[in-house]
Amino acid sequence: MPFSAMELMICCAARELDDGKTVAVGTGLPCAAAMLAQRTHAPNLVIMFEAGGVAPLLPTMPVSVGDSTTFHKAVLATSMADVMQFCQRGMVDYTFLSGAQIDPFGNLNSTVIGPHDKPKVRLPGSGGANDLASFCWKTLIVMKHDAKKFVEKLDFLTTPGYLTGPGAREAAGLPANTGPHRVITDLCVFDFAPDTKRMRVKSLHPGKTLEQVKAATGFALDACDPLGTTVEPNDEQLRILRTEVDPGKYILGRAG
């Protein structure tokens, strides 16, 4: 089956979620990825929502983190305070985030574009993003790829990635061995080099080139050796996405 950029990103994200692990998600693409993982290779994936739904069996795509479906057949209906406390206790393996800007170390800006006192654009702010990225073991970042988003220096640091490089998270008091794990875009998948903690290209999406990725990135990039090609969605994944996860096309109807 042909597939869209959105479907490819969802399938990439789903593949990162292992069976028996825990993931804190919001609505949209992260929720679609978690639902797809749960219906394919990770039936024992524990999904958590910021509003308090823990381990629901989602019948369909929720419209918000407080939608009643986020508590459907859940093992626990609790509060935001408890879910954030689970993260602080080291009980949450993955979380998903995005932002208006990202820098080479995976730090995110979702606060302002331009000077903080007189911004060109004022954005929603952190919400729970800073908490989740600070305490969940692996952060998965999903965002559209262009040079205005992938910048050398953020206008405002809302959410910590690896801050200024190796050892910086730990020096700031954050737990060791936490931080950004993957960045998934409509062009490629990034990981982070163990020695520098800088983003590097792990795999190119089918039909995309490294030159395209570099042209859409506002900082210098390295690539893994060998550089991989992203695995395409298979027919079963696409069927589940289109008929079970998001038949109303709330997410799939968006441009990649």
CA–CA separation, 229 and 240 (whole Å) = 23
The catalytic residues are 50
The residue among 29, 21, 86, 28 whose CA lies nearest residue 53 is 86
**Residue 6 exposed, middle or buried by CB count within 10 Å (0-12, 13-18, 19+):** buried
The residue among 167, 184, 185, 186 whose CA lies nearest residue 176 is 167
Bridge partners of 113, per DSSP, are 121
Q: 83 with 91: CB under 8 angstroms?
A: no
Q: How many residues does the chain have?
A: 256
Q: Checking phi first, is residue 90 left (phi over 0); if not, alpha (psi -120 to 50) or beta?
A: left
3-state secondary structure of 128: coil
The dihedral sign for the CA sequence 209, 15, 28, 32:
positive
